[in-house]
Structure 1
């Protein structure tokens, strides 16, 4: 996305309407003038991305999004392109009706879409069907039009928001446009960055349409995109005690890998010391494969107590299970009131015995675990990830990371950040264990819970992108360890290559 002073700020549709009204007032222009600016920006974007474009197809809805499409048609024809417009209805509303008349007055023809219609043969298709206000399932004719757009195999530019994608939540109620490029107007929408959005937005560009900074100054963004960061450099006079002692607790029978990944990622993220409390039958394997980890057999609570006393940060849950052993460790760990990262079965046990936290705590649920913590279904969480993560942070008085495409980080005070990195290759076993270790290490090095979660999520996702340079399929959690170390030290991907 091009650099823009407000490119990391994400807004709700309600806020977008406020911004648009403020922009019209401040700039002293009409809604139709703003529509013309949007069409001009769309033509420039088409020229940049498809310089050989000769034939353009524009699919227009009845509202302002369709009006953008009609004016784009006028400008594109004037620029020498062959333009075909397909419309869902015989009439348009408000400023869109004026735009439609301008298209027809310029000699443009409108093909009405019906059950027998076929899309024209063009080089690029434009989705100007529905904008930010659309929040229901598409009618059958619109759904068939979108299916035809996909079946054409032609690249698609979506204006403002891909039709069918909820601009607030990133959820789709049915068929939705899969765009190659989305050009969003005035300000960025939070729903373009989480949930299903990754499969529908494509490349995202922001066109502010000339809105001045004063317009944005009056409205606080609902959320923000994370920025790429590294840990600050260390003082030369340092020893391992300066960087905290993480205790990873988990690894029931057969699950040594989970605590190994969490422990090793804590080391790679800079923790000075990392201990692992696990089953006795894991000691030999863990000591042989990662001797830097201090591995302890904890088959009863007596063995855990001194480890809890010496640790500065606790990471509970990787491979923990939900049996009697797990319950005993979980209860003892939560009773010592030390900074905590809770993941996996640690979260499932929390769902069974809810409590709030009065020490720095980070919860890292995936949508299924989040649903159990809230007492709702996974589908309910995915319908509105933003509301779900905020409710979790409020209910449990903790910083919460809702994992998935466009991971979200929420604080109890309402702050919300969205991760713009990560890839489908990271949908594999062990990735969550890795994140637990990273966040715990950052807590051990003095970060607040909020800072540790934001920085940890960013480092983890960026490491995943670096590790996937040679392909996403087959990516292993341990593949992230080397790039994680580089990124934590502010080094580039070239060093990884």
Structure 2
């Protein structure tokens, strides 16, 4: 059963407010919340690893450690062999009560230091740090984390994998690579983007039986949910499904603009034209005759195509030379809805402009392109992807998709959505070209820019997951076209 609020993502500050409200306003003692968290996590452990007989729990001095002490006690009471390794000789606040209960219940608790070894266990439980850590773990703890990650046994993380920033998804140092993370009260946004994908494993949310009255403020972001377009009217014709004009494909890059055009076709665009170099026409016409390929040697040749188009997809294979720059300028001066990618974004970084609020514009940078647009190092973008994508949306007056693990979609008004799908097989050339064409096709069919971006990102990632059923390594961009078509036509696909 899906947990309530499982698609709502909160900042660490918001989660602390919820926690405080539960204690101070609803009158639920902190120790009771700790007991509920331990029970929820232990239930998840038993579901995931029903054959486990030995559990080792690693506890920090704070409330996350308190959850761990109580989980160890529950495991012991259930007949499992449980033991604890603690980072400190004592604990603080409610965690001190939890530690005392654990020790009094007969669970061995030993201090962890640099000479310690991991105890034998079927499951290791990470209760080292909660949401408060935003710096690298100290060397002794980093060594423990590295041993856990290398041990080969499954790891259950309580609330957040230790070492992962729960606000941003960035790991400033060593971080636990969990098999399962059970997050408490509310979903933390940082568990769903960036480096988090390599550390959280499966994520489960336990709201700890708290009443609906606790959730009084809007979440910071939301996870996308599966969606597609409604069935087409029976009397529809191609003119009602829009005309996408894909602009790009400089010398040697015909593949990029073809992938963009094919995605626009498979995304449901009624007509798709391609403005490209003359040398590419034969290959495009032979390989995909449904694309209307045109030789364009400059802005004057582009103008008639603009007059017939309803949406522009600009950037795949465009280049940054005189030819690409001239076409880019002409496209940006048009009032038509626009999807800008690749060199279209690199040119925008060189010659920035803010788009008029009345124009439907979607930018689709990867972290490197985002860094160029922001004038900062890539590492700064990856340290806080949420801040980066919101800044881009506000600066350029456009909907922005920040691609990568847990792609983000931001509106200029501050709304932010996170994509929960996708896989490492999609880390290959041409995937971004497909996304550009797909979003353009959705715009052409009448979706407003924010909806086109959210729906396009979701469909693209879900198609990638379907294609990956045959294996992630070796997957290529065109493998997504067939599953994309299925997803666009099946409400439950």
1:375-414: CA deviation from partner (whole Å, max 9, x where unpaired): 0011100000000000000000000000000000000000
Distance in 2 between residues matched to 1:227 and 1:339, nearest whole Å: 25
Query: Following superposition of structure 1 onto structure 2, how do residues 83-232 of structure 1 map, counting pairs within 5 Å?
Result: 83-216=82-215, 218-232=216-230
Aligned partner of residue 103 in structure 1, secondary structure: helix
Distance in 2 between residues matched to 1:337 and 1:269, nearest whole Å: 22
Distance in 1 between residues matched to 2:146 and 2:401, nearest whole Å: 35
Which position in structure 1 is the counterpart of 2:412?
412
Which position in structure 1 is the counterpart of 2:271?
273
Contact 1:27–1:211, Cα closer than 8 Å, also in 2: no
Which position in structure 1 is the counterpart of 2:67?
68
Shift, 1:475, TM fit: 0.4
Contact 2:69–2:98, Cα closer than 8 Å, also in 1: yes
1:475-494: CA deviation from partner (whole Å, max 9, x where unpaired): 0100000110110112666x
Distance in 1 between residues matched to 2:163 and 2:149, nearest whole Å: 14
TM-score normalised over the length of structure 2: 0.98
Which position in structure 2 is the counterpart of 1:301?
299
Shift, 1:213, TM fit: 1.3
Shift, 1:25, TM fit: 4.0
Aligned partner of residue 224 in structure 1, secondary structure: strand
Distance in 2 between residues matched to 1:221 and 1:340, nearest whole Å: 29
Query: Following superposition of structure 1 onto structure 2, how do residues 442-481 of structure 1 map, counting pairs within 5 Å?
Result: 442-481=442-481
1:43-88: CA deviation from partner (whole Å, max 9, x where unpaired): 1111111111111100000100000011111121111111110011
Which position in structure 1 is the counterpart of 2:289?
291
Which position in structure 2 is the counterpart of 1:393?
393
For structure 1, which runs of at least 5 residues remain unmatched after alignment?
none
Distance in 2 between residues matched to 1:289 and 1:171, nearest whole Å: 42
Count of aligned pairs: 491
Contact 2:227–2:491, Cα closer than 8 Å, also in 1: no
Aligned partner of residue 85 in structure 2, secondary structure: strand
Contact 2:400–2:410, Cα closer than 8 Å, also in 1: yes
Contact 1:486–1:492, Cα closer than 8 Å, also in 2: no
Distance in 1 between residues matched to 2:386 and 2:250, nearest whole Å: 33
For structure 2, which runs of at least 5 residues remain unmatched after alignment?
none
Distance in 2 between residues matched to 1:54 and 1:238, nearest whole Å: 62
Which position in structure 2 is the counterpart of 1:344?
342
Distance in 2 between residues matched to 1:301 and 1:161, nearest whole Å: 53
Q: CA RMSD in A?
A: 0.9
Q: Structure 1 segments of 4 or more deviating over 3 A? A: none
Distance in 2 between residues matched to 1:395 and 1:446, nearest whole Å: 25
Contact 2:82–2:108, Cα closer than 8 Å, also in 1: no
1:209-240: CA deviation from partner (whole Å, max 9, x where unpaired): 01111111x11100000010111111111110
| Stretch of structure 1 that moved more, 374-383 or 148-157 | 148-157
Contact 2:285–2:293, Cα closer than 8 Å, also in 1: yes
The question of 1:333 aligning with 2:331 is answered: yes
Shift, 1:19, TM fit: 1.0
Query: Following superposition of structure 1 onto structure 2, how do residues 300-379 of structure 1 map, counting pairs within 5 Å?
Result: 300-358=298-356, 359-379=359-379
Contact 1:23–1:212, Cα closer than 8 Å, also in 2: no
1:153-189: CA deviation from partner (whole Å, max 9, x where unpaired): 1110000000000000000001100000000000101
Distance in 1 between residues matched to 2:392 and 2:170, nearest whole Å: 19
